[in-house]
Amino acid sequence: MGTVFDSEPLFELTLPDAETVGFDVMARLPLGELVAPDWADALAPVEGELRKVLTFLAEEVAAGHRVLPSPSNVFRAFRQPLAAVKVLVVGQDPYPTPGHAVGLSFSVDGRTRPVPRSLANIYKELEADLGIPARVHGDLGVWADRGVLLLNRVLSVRAGAAGSHRGKGWEPITTAAVTAVAGRTAADGGQVPLVAVLWGKDAESVRPLLGETPVVSSAHPSPLSASRGFFGSRPFSRANTLLQQQGTGPVDWEIPPFP
C-alpha cells in the first residue's frame, strides 16, 4: 500500500517539559501552544470551558488522583491540523488503566500487552474487511497522521474509574470540535470530504452535529456488543468508498508491525 511508517505529527506540544508539566500550567498557556493552529481557531469559542476543564484536572491531581492521559497527551487528537481530517472516529472516554491512554480514541501505548478487547475486535474486523493482519500493539498513531481524527467524547479520566470525568466540561469542547470538522467548506463552497465512523450509542449522540456528512455506524466493538452488528460491518472499506465518492483519496489503514 506504499505505507510510510515514520511520519511525524505536523504539530508538537510546545511546552518547556511536555512530560512533567502540569494541567495548572496548561490552563494558563495560549490555546495556540496546546493544539494545532487551525484547531486553536476552531476551539476559540469554547476556550473558557477548556480552561475550566484544565483547572478541574489540576484540582484532581492536587487532591491526589491520577489523571489519564498525561498532560502532554490530553490534546493529542488536536495535534494534526483540522484541515487534514478525512475520517472522524468517535470514542467514549480514555482507558482508565494507567499506561494505556494516549489521547486518541481506541489507541493505547505501544508497549501495552495485551491490547484492550475492543481494540482486538477492531483489529479482527480490519483483517476481515481489508486483509490487514492484527498487530500485537495498539498504537494507532499512524491513523491520526493520515487524517483519521480519533476523538473521545470526554478527553480525560481518573485512573481506575471509567467515566469519572463525564459531565465535567469536556462535552461542549468535543461538540465544538465535531461541529468544526463537519462544517468545513472548500474553496468552491462545498463541504470538505469527510466520513464519520460511529460505533455504539455514545458515538451516535454526535450524529446531529454532522449535517450532511456520510456516516458509517454499527454496534460498539466492545466484547459485549461486537457480535450484535460490529463484526461484518466493514467500516474501513466503506469509509474509503465514501471518501472516493466525494472525490478524495482513501485512508491507508495499514498499521506497522511494531510501534
Residues taking part in catalysis: 93
Listed in sequence order, the residues at least 6 apart from 38 whose beta carbon sits closer than 8 Å to its beta carbon are: 81, 82, 83
CA distances from 57 to 18, 97, 211 (A): 16, 17, 32
CA angle 246, 248, 250 (to 5 degrees): 110
Three-state SS string across 52-118, please? HHHHHHHHHHHCCCCEECCCCCCCHHHCCCHHHCCEEEEECCCCCCCCCECCCCCCECCCCCCCCHH
